[in-house]
Amino acid sequence: FRLKYGRNFTYGTVEEFRGKRAVVRVSYDICSNVKSGLYVVESFAKIKRGDLVKISVERPMLGLRGAKVRAILGKSK
């Protein structure tokens, strides 16, 4: 499953932002192995509250504890 359907990004909604940091709400994503919750991430794109954004994910080798959300790559359409 991981080799065929896995990906290194997920989608989330911007709850708050200040400067280069943002709080993003992410729902559970089986393809990227991300747990749901609020994450504080860095932003490399211009965003505003309520935007749907694409977020990079760092996946561990075995993936037993889930992936870590790293940074906002850009807005999603």
% of residues, the chain, pLDDT over 90: 71
**pLDDT tens string 8-37:** 999 999 999 999 999 999 999 999 989 999
pLDDT band at 63 (very low <50, low <70, confident <90, very high): low
**pLDDT tens string 45-55:** 899 999 999 99
Percentages helix, strand, coil for the chain (3-state, rounded to 5) are: 5, 50, 45
Q: What is the pLDDT of residue 65?
A: 80
**Res. 77: pLDDT tops 80:** no
Q: What is the pLDDT of residue 5?
A: 82
